[in-house]
Structure 1
Amino acid sequence: MAKENDVLSKSELKVLTLICNGYTSENIGVKLGITKSTVQTHRRNMLRKTGFKNTQQLVGWAVREGLVK
């Protein structure tokens, strides 16, 4: 479960928004001008910070919390 004191960085929020909109890691990298590996690192860091086990849980949390539309 996400913790109140763990805050996602601006870069992580950009990546999370695109994940929630159905973009692949490769597409996110192209759109943001970063490598696919960097996108995957952001994803791992977000999972670690929030305590979720997978991207599906992360996306559900982001939508419930109003972090993304």
Structure 2
Amino acid sequence: MSRAFTKEDGSTRWEPPVPLAAYAARMPGEAETLHESDDLLELLHWLQRQPSGPLEIRDRAGVLLGVRQ
């Protein structure tokens, strides 16, 4: 097997990084993403279906777009 497709520290195959979605919903102050989407309307519909509580929407660069209190 070619070493180009293995990690230096093990025999597992290399996998490309997962591309970031355009928008993400998170709890305020948390780094963990609850839901990601490339479609802002889809993310807003997902947000509407969630139980009440504080959530924020950020873009790929981390810029705050909106907050639900």
Query: Fold match, TM over 0.5?
Result: no
Which TM-score bucket, shorter chain as reference? under 0.3
TM-score, structure 2 normalization: 0.26
Normalized per residue, which structure has more strand? 2
TM-score, structure 1 normalization: 0.26
